[in-house]
Structure 1
């Protein structure tokens, strides 16, 4: 039996409940993994609330780390006893153990703890695809990154610094701005006390930025487009403030032949080799010391409702994990 967090209907944090599940043996192409820690991400909130619908009832959670207990037929890259970590579909990571497809489960280097792996797989590989697979970014480029003090943001700040990319961050308090700056942001703007759009133009000499990386959504979308230089790229990769409403594509032409994309991590990592390549790039950054994974909140699995409430209220910084 394994304790697992499920929802039977979409709703607030109270919709989650902890149940016991029988696991059994993994089938072909599957592994059974005993978790040591699980990560929290905004996609978990989107799935819980029904913004990203699930077939209910359904378990929640998209990333975790632990030890492989058994492998099914055809699984060759993992074996029982291996340390492993993942960010993967289908949801179900909020659990003591689970059976899941093996494709996106990666061997975990000894130098990275289970806790840090659980805190970084989804966020870190998101940063990897944002900087390396969505649009070309290079030394000297300028990126505007919203929610720069969050779990993805603090990794992005360090990643940008390691590659000599100027990162202008936004955050909701002076303390969060200081945190982003300490982690490598070149500038950080308190969006509650400053006009961040005006500040971006001043910081870029009126030219705008090469790329916007925006997981906030509705609240920042229009200002993000206005912050881009001509031919710039808008990457909308999340909806923390709600989904972006429909807009007229002609606006992109009017603002300078802008480009826009709405990518997902799981499309980038659907191929086994691509997934491992992304994970290895992340592991390299962490093991080299270029990126430090900051865990600022820890909750027992049984307190998952409180964890979601804190995340949804934007009261968290860095990464949040569930301890098993």
Structure 2
């Protein structure tokens, strides 16, 4: 019988429950997919804690890869037997199989394995829009990337080097520093013992970074704002430590007429053509070996609560997946 991780109330990892579920036939515009690997993302914890609201009870997870087992009426974008991946709503990726909208799916190139896809679709597409859509980055520009040894961080580091950028990355340990450095990070700042902004200013001769990509949020936003150059851009794309505090617009002027944006992946893959373009570029880099995807943690789906605990306590590096 099919199984899924579900939750009936918000809270800590212990609210996650392994349940037997009924998966019916796909309706018009839908497919039934059998999952081979499921992605574990920090965004999953936001739904579990209630930071991102969801009607309860609910499924968990927004990213997976697998095989199409059946298609509903009117579906032409995929066929039975196709290898596919996806990221985004509706919730429910933490499952052995499910019925879902067909237009959410991305056909998976033969060169990309299921685990790689589940580990890189959300992180990779996030890196893709950060590197290719947010700002006209030019060779020689300097960027600051928080959590450089995380799933997005490692992909973004490699992509940045393909664009000729200088990458300054923040990490929380010497072990993570080595991981980030091995993936192209030029300069490492250990935020547990160094002042991020002071170090960035030192590395940039007092100028600051052209763009700061901040996935941590509450605890790093002030440092990110202090690290960006005059008329530079701070991109707040994650809240691992909590939401960014309210922004005083005058501080943006005081810091040098800087810009701040809070983008969401959904708005950069809403258009099917743009999604296909970004996915094509991402998987092209991976297939060619220009970007390596590190699957450093593998869990059984029934172990979801423990996996969430390890993710939230900073015990993971690179990407994590559930294997089925």
TM-score range, shorter chain: over 0.9
- Quick check: 1:138 aligned with 2:108? no
Which runs of 5 or more structure 2 residues have no equivalent in the other structure?
Answer: none
Residue in structure 1 matched with residue 165 of structure 2 by the alignment? 165
Residue in structure 1 matched with residue 228 of structure 2 by the alignment? 228
Corresponding residue pairs, total: 324
Residue in structure 2 matched with residue 95 of structure 1 by the alignment? 95
Residue in structure 1 matched with residue 106 of structure 2 by the alignment? 106
Instruction: Decide whether the 8 Å contact of 2:26 with 2:99 is kept in 1.
Output: yes
CA–CA separation in structure 1 for the residues paired with 2:313 and 2:208: 30
CA–CA separation in structure 1 for the residues paired with 2:172 and 2:42: 17
Residue in structure 2 matched with residue 247 of structure 1 by the alignment? 247
Instruction: Decide whether the 8 Å contact of 2:77 with 2:103 is kept in 1.
Output: no
Q: Give the secondary-structure state (helix, strand or coil) at the position aligned to 1:230.
A: strand
Residue in structure 1 matched with residue 39 of structure 2 by the alignment? 39
- Quick check: 1:277 aligned with 2:277? yes
Instruction: For residue 91 of structure 1, report the CA deviation from its aligned partner.
Output: 1.3
Instruction: Decide whether the 8 Å contact of 1:104 with 1:269 is kept in 2.
Output: no
Which runs of 5 or more structure 1 residues have no equivalent in the other structure?
Answer: none
Residue in structure 1 matched with residue 61 of structure 2 by the alignment? 61
**CA offsets 1:216-238 (integer angstroms, 9 cap, x no match):** 00100011011111111110011
CA–CA separation in structure 2 for the residues paired with 1:75 and 1:235: 37
CA–CA separation in structure 1 for the residues paired with 2:28 and 2:273: 19
CA–CA separation in structure 2 for the residues paired with 1:194 and 1:221: 15
Instruction: Decide whether the 8 Å contact of 1:86 with 1:121 is kept in 2.
Output: yes
Q: Give the secondary-structure state (helix, strand or coil) at the position aligned to 1:91.
A: coil
Instruction: Decide whether the 8 Å contact of 2:39 with 2:118 is kept in 1.
Output: yes
Instruction: For residue 162 of structure 1, report the CA deviation from its aligned partner.
Output: 1.5
Superposition pairs of residues 14-53 of structure 1, within 5 angstroms: 14-53=14-53
Residue in structure 2 matched with residue 123 of structure 1 by the alignment? 123
Instruction: Decide whether the 8 Å contact of 2:196 with 2:227 is kept in 1.
Output: no
Residue in structure 1 matched with residue 86 of structure 2 by the alignment? 86
CA–CA separation in structure 2 for the residues paired with 1:137 and 1:29: 39
Query: TM-score with structure 2 length normalisation?
Result: 0.98
Residue in structure 2 matched with residue 259 of structure 1 by the alignment? 259
Q: Give the secondary-structure state (helix, strand or coil) at the position aligned to 1:123.
A: helix
Residue in structure 1 matched with residue 192 of structure 2 by the alignment? 192
Residue in structure 1 matched with residue 302 of structure 2 by the alignment? 302
Instruction: For residue 274 of structure 1, report the CA deviation from its aligned partner.
Output: 1.5
**CA offsets 1:186-238 (integer angstroms, 9 cap, x no match):** 11111112112111001001000110100100100011011111111110011
Q: Give the secondary-structure state (helix, strand or coil) at the position aligned to 1:86.
A: strand
Instruction: Decide whether the 8 Å contact of 1:88 with 1:105 is kept in 2.
Output: no
Residue in structure 2 matched with residue 316 of structure 1 by the alignment? 316
CA–CA separation in structure 1 for the residues paired with 2:28 and 2:88: 17
CA–CA separation in structure 2 for the residues paired with 1:277 and 1:75: 21
CA–CA separation in structure 2 for the residues paired with 1:68 and 1:290: 29
CA–CA separation in structure 2 for the residues paired with 1:304 and 1:120: 19
CA–CA separation in structure 2 for the residues paired with 1:138 and 1:29: 41
CA–CA separation in structure 2 for the residues paired with 1:99 and 1:141: 44
**CA offsets 1:228-285 (integer angstroms, 9 cap, x no match):** 1111111001111111111211211111111111111011111221211111111011
Instruction: Decide whether the 8 Å contact of 1:104 with 1:275 is kept in 2.
Output: no
CA–CA separation in structure 1 for the residues paired with 2:176 and 2:99: 38
**CA offsets 1:84-137 (integer angstroms, 9 cap, x no match):** 011121111000011111222111011111011000000000000111112221
What's the C-alpha RMSD, in Å, of the aligned pairs?
0.9
